């Protein structure tokens, strides 16, 4: 039974140890892109781990392709919170002004409360927060012009990237994936309604490239991903 259905049996401690001692570690695109999302401490821990495992790491061509396609979007998104927080500050001050203005000259509120002091206090607080945001934002490296993290990733995965699918094979791969999607065979079938082929078939292409690579190796492989969708 176990030989026929190994995926339903938890490996023994000895099997786990053999796996960890001999396996190749392959990584999903999200792991590489998380380098830009992590805190400094977590990022360094990841790079330290990759460096320790550098003789046993590998990525499919699809991962390298997706990484370069999404890298600038992810970098830009890291600056989004600063804009959103500043907008909340500005909008709330405007809203506060509007609410107080409704009661000026016709309500006892302004005779009991120094409404100008409320506005000015809020403005000063907003100004201090804006300064903190600008100072923090300035600490984020200019990765558009000088991507120090990509340089490290390039060095780690030098000559450790799979080959792309040959042009004459692409259509056959797409047909194979369409059949898998019809059967809801993971991974990637949840992406079947996406409009662009590279988004629709990306996970499945990655998986098939992993399988092709495994066939050339006499070692187990551990695939590391941050994807927790049902179709994985």
CA distance 59 to 209: 9
Q: Are 42 and 226 in contact (CB under 8 A)?
A: no
pTM above 0.75, yes or no: yes
Q: Are 186 and 7 in contact (CB under 8 A)?
A: no
Helices (H), ranges, 163-220: 167-182, 197-200, 202-216
CA nearest neighbour of 133 among 95, 93, 96, 90: 90
Determine how β-strand 24-27 pairs with β-strand 221-224: parallel
CA nearest neighbour of 148 among 61, 44, 18, 2: 44
pLDDT in tens, 109-137: 666 677 788 888 889 999 999 999 888 88
Per-residue pLDDT of the chain (232 residues; tens, 9 = 90+): 888 888 899 989 998 998 899 999 999 999 999 999 999 999 999 999 999 999 999 999 999 999 999 999 999 888 888 888 889 988 888 898 888 887 776 666 666 677 788 888 889 999 999 999 888 888 778 888 899 999 999 999 999 999 998 888 888 898 999 999 999 998 988 888 887 777 789 999 999 999 999 999 989 999 999 988 888 8
Return the bridge partners of 222, or none: 25
pLDDT at 160: 97
pLDDT at 230: 85
pLDDT at 155: 97
């Amino acid at each position: 039974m176990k030989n026929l259905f190994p995926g339903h049996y938890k490996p023994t401690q000895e099997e786990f140890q053999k796996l960890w001692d001999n396996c190749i570690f392959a990584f999903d695109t999200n792991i590489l892109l998380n380098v830009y999302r992590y805190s400094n401490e977590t990022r360094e821990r990841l790079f330290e781990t990759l460096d320790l495992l550098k003789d046993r790491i590998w990525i499919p061509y699809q991962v390298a392709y997706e990484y370069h396609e999404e890298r600038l979007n992810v970098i830009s998104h890291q600056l989004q919170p600063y804009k959103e927080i500043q907008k909340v500050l500005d909008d709330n001050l405007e809203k506060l002004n509007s609410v107080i203005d409704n009661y000026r000259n016709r309500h006892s509120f302004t005779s009991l409360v120094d409404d100008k002091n409320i506005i000015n206090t809020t403005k000063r607080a907003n100004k201090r927060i804006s300064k903190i945001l600008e100072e923090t934002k300035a600490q984020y490296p200019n990765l558009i012009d000088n991507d120090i993290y990509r340089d490290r990733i390039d060095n780690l995965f030098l000559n450790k990237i799979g080959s792309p699918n040959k042009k004459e094979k692409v259509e056959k791969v797409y047909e194979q994936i369409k059949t898998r999607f019809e059967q809801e065979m993971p991974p990637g079938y949840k992406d079947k309604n996406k409009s662009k082929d590279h988004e629709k078939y990306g996970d499945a292409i990655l998986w098939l490239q992993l399988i092709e690579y495994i066939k050339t190796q006499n070692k187990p492989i551990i695939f590391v991903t941050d994807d927790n969708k049902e179709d994985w």
